[in-house]
Amino acid sequence: MRAVVQRVKHAHVIVQNEKVGQIEKGLLVFLGVEKGDNESDLNYIVDKVAGLRIFEDEGGKMNLSVQDVGGSILAVSQFTLYGDCRKGRRPSFIQAAEPDVAKRYYDLFIQRIDEKGIPVAQGVFQAMMEVSLINDGPVTILLDSKKLF
């Protein structure tokens, strides 16, 4: 499982000209699910996202989590995180999980973040989405449950 995590001042998702998810200060999380991912992968990503200390404390040091600063999470499904561009110029997505599996883990990610007491908004699974954000920093973190990076 992979996640691209961006610290944002605000972010929102529009689907068919309708704003479907919006947060102010917090994290925009693009989540990709790989074939073979399991509960262990999900738990790793949930715990990392919820606990990432990438917000500044009073001394200006990145030392606080999204929960510490009273922030929210906007979760957006992103199968293209498993796009393999090593051959040719057109990405291959054969490592991305099938849609039914990916949706189950995406929904569980949202549920588990909510259970941690972090407000969570979301995009629409498999929809064409317009994602707008103001990246704060900018701060962008890559997470991979297989620890590839």
Provide the annotated active-site residues.
78-80
Supply φ then ψ for residue 18, to 5 degrees.
-120, 130
Contacts of 21 (CB under 8 A, 6+ apart): 12, 13, 74, 75, 76, 121, 122, 123
b (16+ CB within 10 A) / e for 36-61: ebeeebbebbbeebbebebbbeeeee
d(Cα 113, Cα 115) in Å, to the nearest integer? 5
Residue 27 · residue 71 · CB < 8 Å: yes
Contact 109, 31 (CB under 8 A): yes
